Amino acid sequence: MKAILPIALAALWAAPAMAETDPVKIAAICTEAEERYAEIYGHPSAEAEGVEVVLMYKYTFCPVEVEVPAGTTIRWVNVDKRTSHSTWFRDAGEPESERLFPEETAEQTFDIPGEWGYLCGPHWESRDMIGKVIVKP
């Protein structure tokens, strides 16, 4: 039994952390993400012209859910320091985006009303990194 305990503990320590589900902790992560964005770009993400910004940080999309009118372009921005992310509208049959490395961006315009769930290709299973775009007419 003594030999099993260290192996079990090692497996526990090696297990990937899942995405945060506590709204207070998500808010704290997204506050940090916004601070990183402002540090990188010199202004808050709300001041980005002509786009709605979704940040990628600590295996979280910030905001997790975004509601926009049809015709809106969303810009995903990776503000992590070392991790790459992607966007993948898998259930809509779309291919996964290129990997976005720190400070890289990707954009997509949403013309069709509906709810569009998406995920981070490399982190949706191991970290539950999932988001949603709600497009209003």
Which CATH number is 70's domain given? 2.60.40.420
Return the ∠ at Cα 49 (arms to 48 and 50), rounded to 5°: 120
Task: With respect to residue 8, please indicate whether it lies within any of the assigned structural domains.
Answer: no
Q: Is 10 inside any structural domain? A: no
Q: Output the tens digit of pLDDT for each of the chain's 137 residues.
A: 333 333 333 333 334 455 667 899 999 999 999 999 999 999 999 999 999 999 999 999 999 999 999 999 999 999 999 999 999 999 999 999 999 999 999 999 999 999 999 999 999 998 999 999 999 99
> Does residue 5 lie within any of the structural domains?
no
Kindly report the backbone phi and psi dihedral angles of residue 53, in degrees, each rounded to the nearest multiple of 5, phi listed first. -100, 135
Total domains present in the chain: 1
Indicate whether 50 belongs to any domain. yes
Reported pTM = 0.85
Residue 122 · residue 87 · CB < 8 Å = no
Report yes or no: 77 and 66 within 8 Å, Cβ to Cβ.
no
Give a yes or no: residue 3 inside a domain: no
Domain limits at 32?
A: 20-136
